[in-house]
Amino acid sequence: MSEHYFEQYSTNKSENTLETFRFEINSIDTDILKLLDKRMKISKKIGDYKKSNNIQVLDKSREKIVIDNLVSKNSNMNLNLNEELIKNLWNNIMSYSKNIQN
């Protein structure tokens, strides 16, 4: 979508309209993309470190710790995200991270 598409909704931010909600979602999606890009760049650095130090890319115990930590944070922070969503999303994220590390 073009930048113009997003800009046209920025004028109605105070209204509770479908367009306003979509604008908010678009903004959040952009933030998520930027954070995922940052995460993948760090994953690449981890992969380089692991290669230099003869460390296996796959670390199931670390993956379990990451997911358990996120599920716990979700509960402790009262975020109310579905646990399966967290697990599935981070399993996908970590899968791509491992691909970058190889």
Per-residue pLDDT for 57 more than 90? yes
pLDDT at 14: 63
Per-residue pLDDT for 10 more than 60? no
Contact 39, 100 (CB under 8 A): no
Cα 58 to chain centroid distance, Å, stands at 20
Mean pLDDT, all residues of the chain? 90
CA distance 71 to 68: 5
Name the pTM for this structure: 0.78
